[in-house]
Structure 1
Amino acid sequence: MDDNTFWQLIDACRPAGPDPDGHGLAAALTDRLGKGPVYAVVGFAEQLSWALYRLDRREYGEALSGDGFLYTRAAVVAAGRAEYEDVLRDPRRFTPYADGLVWAEALLYVPDDAYEHLTGEEWHRRTRYSFESYSNAAGWADAR
């Protein structure tokens, strides 16, 4: 799955109304990806981890707990490509997500749930990039 396809899928599955915890988006994505093929689930997982990894930087998460930072980054992704790219360009745009503790934890489980739906097996996955908080060493390096 390429970057454009990933963001088109996010946009196509995002509910029209409020979705404060991301469960509506997660359910729609899981349903769509759960219809297969497996490589689409793998591609989605890779793109999601890359998007979250890119937001794993000191200027966004210095004051947040590890889990809070991860779930807040997921909320930025859930907001769609335009908002995500705006946040990457201007870290101050991350503040409303962090201040309001807008979380989208459910988005993180979409690949696992879709894979299990397709195969009947639990997915012990690894992605190229870790989305865990503070895993982007370059993003947390001291600016000198």
Structure 2
Amino acid sequence: MSTIAIDGAPAELSWERFWQLIDLIGGEPAVAVCATFDAGCERLTEALAAGPVDGITGFGERLAEALYRLDREEYGTQLAADPDDPSDRPLPLSDDSFLYGRAAVVAAGRAAYERVLADPALFARHSFRSGEPLLHAPEEAYETATGEEWDHLTRFDYESCSNREGWPNLRA
């Protein structure tokens, strides 16, 4: 359940409610373009848009925080490997593919997310997947609900390599 923002602080959404909303997606994206994943993200967007606006911003906050927690060197320096084609040569992750892989982990649900947080080696199976549509759910829901453009800045920057504590060897 969300709460109303007080004194300009971002609205809060419980982690429990966040993961319930993520479950609307129906699982992680496949390696190939996945119409089922896109439809799941549309269900999520519709559910967010039907709720209170502070629920949308609260979801955006939780999503940014979840992605930020995965923005760490031990995940981002892994190679992307297609789990459906073990003969494919693994490749370094670009900033975008690292972000989309982190979104795929979140989209896979709470249990998968917690497993990857506990064991970074498990990120590799998600690294070739793209959870990009999940990133657009809060902004699309907000625009549907309000008719206004999403201009919310989250407390956590989820762009790749923004978590300075997670990238101790990265030079600014």
Which residue in the other structure is 2:115 paired with? 86
1:24 and 1:9 map into 2 onto residues whose CA distance is: 14
Residue in 2 aligned with 1:8? 20
- 1:78 and 1:47 mapped to 2: Cα distance? 13
- Unmatched 5+ residue regions in structure 2? 1-12, 78-91
**Greater helix share, structure number:** 1
Secondary structure of the residue that 1:124 maps to in structure 2? coil
Offset at 1:46? 0.3
Residue 49 (1) aligns with residue 27 (2): no
Percent identity of equivalent pairs: 50
Please state how far the C-alpha of 1:26 moved relative to its aligned partner: 1.2
What residue number does 2:138 align with? 111
Structure 2: distance between partners of 1:19 and 1:7: 16
1:33 corresponds to 2:45: no
Alignment counterpart, residue 96 of structure 1, candidates 110, 122, 125? 125
The secondary structure found in structure 2 opposite 1:141 is coil
C-alpha displacement at 1:130, in angstroms? 0.6
Deviations 1:1-41 (A, max 9, x none): 11111011111x0237x842431221011010011210000
Q: Which residue does 1:122 correspond to in 2?
A: 149
Cα RMSD for the two superposed structures: 1.4
Alpha-carbon distance, 1:87 to partner: 0.1
Residue of structure 2 aligned with 1:65, choices 91, 94, 99: 94
Q: Is the 8 A contact 1:52 1:131 kept in 2?
A: yes
CA contact (8 A) 1:25 1:78 kept: no
Give the number of aligned pairs: 138
Deviation per residue, 1:28-80 (Å, 9 max, x gap): 11010011210000000000000000000001112311000000000000000
Instruction: Work out whether residues 25 and 107 of structure 1, in 8 Å CA contact, stay in contact via their aligned partners in 2.
Output: no
Structure 1: 5+ residue runs without aligned partners? none
- TM-score with structure 2 setting the length: 0.77
For 2:104, the equivalent position in structure 1 comes to 75
CA contact (8 A) 2:103 2:135 kept: yes
**Do 1:23 and 1:104's aligned partners in 2 also have CA atoms closer than 8 Å?**
no
Kindly indicate whether structure 1 or structure 2 has the higher relative contact order, using CA contacts under 8 Å at least 6 residues apart.
1
